[in-house]
Amino acid sequence: MAEGPGAAPPPHGCPGTSSARAGRAAACQGCPSQGLCAAGGPAAPDPAIEEIKEKMKIVKHKILVLSGKGGVGKSTFSAHLAHGLAKDETKQYVEENLCVMSVGFLLSGPDDAVIWRGPKKNGMIKQFLRDVDWGEIDYLIVDTPPGTSDEHLSIVQYLSSSHIDGAVIITTPQEISLQDVRKEINFCHKVKLPIIGVVENMSGFVCPKCKIESQIFPPTTGGAEKMCQNLNISLLGKVPLDPQIGKSCDQGQCFFSEIPESPATSSYKNIIQRIQEYCGLHHSKEKLSNQGME
């Protein structure tokens, strides 16, 4: 169990550092401080937190992209968000303003599976944040796995001292997806991770020929809009289904440029603009707060 300033909250069922089961209970599996607790040593914050804080000083904004459920288009949204934020009218190509790091780059082949236990995954997250030469950038987008697993706790813990702007949560309209998203929202509240807002992906399908809209994933309980109203969270927007999104991704093309008239393109651009506005406002508030503390 990590304690002290900037530490992530203990996992559910944590026996505590004073317990004889510290570091040995089922809830301890994968915890970054498991070794310290099992050895009976002091549960001091990981020194990597301060190292990462120094490394992240030249990264203006950090955004986590989360989803409670797999298969809702979180990675696709992360890629489009990064692409949209990287667009700079002063540069000829977006690629000049965009960099990517992935565990996939470290595998010997595209079909290799990542079969790692918690400590190995935590070490990789630490390396990505501390050792990658990100350079001076405006936005760091972290595409996380679905759910509320150990990776999420590690990311929040390692970035705790370097200011995270917040999380963008991706869902689809149906209740089975919203159930998991509510858990994700609860996770954010518990670890004090600000929520920028929710994006409803695959929100309806407009036939390109007859222009009639169909609900592939019916919002039987009101969809993300109703959920956000109930939980007092911002709905950043709704992205409709468009087969061209998947086609463009498979071909390595920019969907925004290839299909600029698509309703999905318009939705993406509006959502990205709202995220930029949030980050700018959030940065200004934090700056004023820091000045007031001086």
Q: Once rounded to an integer, what is the mean pLDDT over residues 211-234?
A: 92
According to the model, what pLDDT value does residue 5 have? 44
Q: Could you tell me where the beta strands, DSSP code E, fall in the chain?
A: 59-66, 137-143, 166-171, 195-206, 213-214, 235-241
| Residue of 117, 4, 10, 17 whose CA lies nearest to 50 | 4
- 120 and 175 part of one domain: yes
- 62 and 198 part of one domain: yes
d(C-alpha 204, C-alpha 80), whole Å:
19
pTM of the model: 0.80
- 207 has pLDDT over 90: no
- 18 and 76 part of one domain: no
Can you say whether residue 214 is alpha, beta or left, with left for phi > 0 and alpha for psi between -120 and 50 degrees? beta
Q: State pLDDT tens for residues 54-89.
A: 999 999 999 999 998 889 999 999 999 999 998 866
- 1 and 61 part of one domain: no
> Domain containing 213 — which CATH number?
3.40.50.300
Contact predicate 23/37, CB 8 Å: yes
What is the SS3 assignment for 171? strand
- 161 and 257 part of one domain: yes
What six digits make up the tokens of 287?
């700056």
- Count of positions (residues) in the chain: 294
d(C-alpha 73, C-alpha 224), whole Å:
15
According to the model, what pLDDT value does residue 222 have? 93
Half-sphere exposure of 90 (CA within 13 A, CB side): 1
Which string of b and e fits 151-185 if b means at least 16 CB within 10 Å?
bbbbbbbbbbbbbbbbbbbbbbbbeebbebbbebb
- 239 and 156 part of one domain: yes
- 145 and 133 part of one domain: yes
Rounded to the nearest 10°, the torsion over CA 202, 204, 210, 211 is -100
- 186 and 250 part of one domain: yes
Average pLDDT along the chain: 84
Of the pLDDT bands very low, low, confident and very high (cuts 50, 70, 90), residue 277 is very high
What six digits make up the tokens of 285?
């508030």
- 288 has pLDDT over 60: no
Of the pLDDT bands very low, low, confident and very high (cuts 50, 70, 90), residue 48 is confident
Q: State pLDDT tens for residues 153-166.
A: 889 989 988 889 99
Domain that holds residue 69: 49-293
- 152 and 36 part of one domain: no
Domains held by the chain: number: 2
- 156 and 183 part of one domain: yes
According to the model, what pLDDT value does residue 110 have? 84
- 150 and 234 part of one domain: yes
- 110 and 232 part of one domain: yes
- 146 has pLDDT over 60: yes
Q: What is the DSSP letter of 44?
A: P
What is the SS3 assignment for 204? strand
